[in-house]
Amino acid sequence: MNNGHPEPYGVKYWEIGDEVYRYDVSPEKYGQDYIIFQDAMKQVDPSIIVAASARIEPDAYSTWNIPLLSVIGPTVDAMALHPFYPRRTYDPIVQPAVMAAATQADDDLARVRQLLATTTDRADEIGLILGEMGIDYIFCCEPEPTISIRWNMLLVGVYDADLMGMLVERSADYRLELGIQYWLHGASLSCDIYFDWETEERYKRPDYYALQLWTNHFGDVLVQNAVTCDTFDVPETYGNVGPLYDIPYLAAHTSIAGGKLYLLVINRHLTDDITTAIHINGNGFIPQYATVYTLNGPSVESTNEYGSHDSVVITASSISNASHDFTYVFPAHSVTVIELFMLSHRVYLPIIFK
């Protein structure tokens, strides 16, 4: 090629349009256009996955998803969803709803799969693509820097880690093909890494560190666990979150890789540390030592915007009492990874958090 890349990029996943339901087009017309695009694109590369723009909110099924599926159900490869929460103006009153938003996303994805099962005879063939996901507040009249602080506080990082944990655990159940966090680097209000084009200043936000924990401090093979702890409720609807009940304050995700057992634990409590007894069935652990990585800050509203860019970071430490049975205090509003070194891979399930 004279202008462009000499070889195909090999892009596998395609979404036809971006949140098309926000514009003046009917789901039936969009569905017809989707089929035209899908057919033309697959003539070039039959292996690609072509996703249709769908809605994750249950109250939009009758006005968008169901009529759309009536047109594309026989051919669609995947439904592209954009799970953003809490979809309302920020106020401290919505903080519990943000801590519950991963649970809301879990419920919403389950409903989408149920919708596919009841409206098509190809549910097992249709994947889900999360083309964008993350926090979203409705814009209000607050000027900068207030808006940037609202969108990039510690609360957002904890939620992002929580959402990723749910997706890691449930990807097979929901037939998730792809998930994209919105977005990694740039001058946007919600970039994980912020870049100022005028000053060339660059700094990392809490959701970047949440992604870093999952990338650098979690294993390849999931291990079963069981959590017993206090719960909280979101009895009212805040934007597109709630009502929800009996949400555990602790979310635990456990895995093995490279001779290590990883315990990734999220404390959703806004104010309280949680003392937890941890029991690991197995005899393959080096006793009395573990490395700990913790994402946290002074308060749930701590931020790296303006002034200090390291109020919310990952801190490393170690604990000397780690064994088959030990106690750990998970700080309020935090994401913690405990890495336990193993002599062998003999772990008997489940790992108990209590």
Question: How does DSSP assign 86-151, residue by residue?
Answer: E-S---GGGHHHHHTHHHHHHHHHHHHHHHHHHH-S-GGG-EEEESS-EEE----SPPTTHHHHHH
331: DSSP letter: P
Domain ranges of the chain: 13-214, 217-353
Rounded Cα distance, 222 and 247, in Å: 22
Degrees, nearest 5: CA angle 196-198-202: 25
- pLDDT score recorded for residue 322: 83
Q: In 3-state terms, what secondary structure has residue 152? A: coil
217-353, CATH topology level: Immunoglobulin-like (2.60.40)
User: Phi then psi for 333, rounded to 5 degrees?
Assistant: 40, 55
Rounded Cα distance, 67 and 89, in Å: 31
Query: 28: closest CA among 58, 52, 6?
Result: 52
Rounded Cα distance, 136 and 301, in Å: 16
CA distances from 343 to 113, 134, 252, 339, 340 (A): 41, 38, 23, 13, 10
Helices 154-174 and 101-119 pack at an angle, to 10 degrees, of: 30
13-214, CATH topology level: TIM Barrel (3.20.20)
pTM: 0.94
User: Phi then psi for 341, rounded to 5 degrees?
Assistant: -80, 140
List, for the chain, all residue ranges whose pLDDT scores fall below the cut of 70.
Answer: 1-2, 283-288, 343-349
Residue that has been written with the tokens 């697959």 in this structure: 42
State the Cα torsion 83-63-52-191 to the nearest 10°.
Answer: -30
List of residues 6+ apart from 272 with CB closer than 8 A: 332
- pLDDT score recorded for residue 318: 94
Q: Which stretch of DSSP H or E encloses residue 207?
A: helix 206-216
- pLDDT score recorded for residue 287: 62
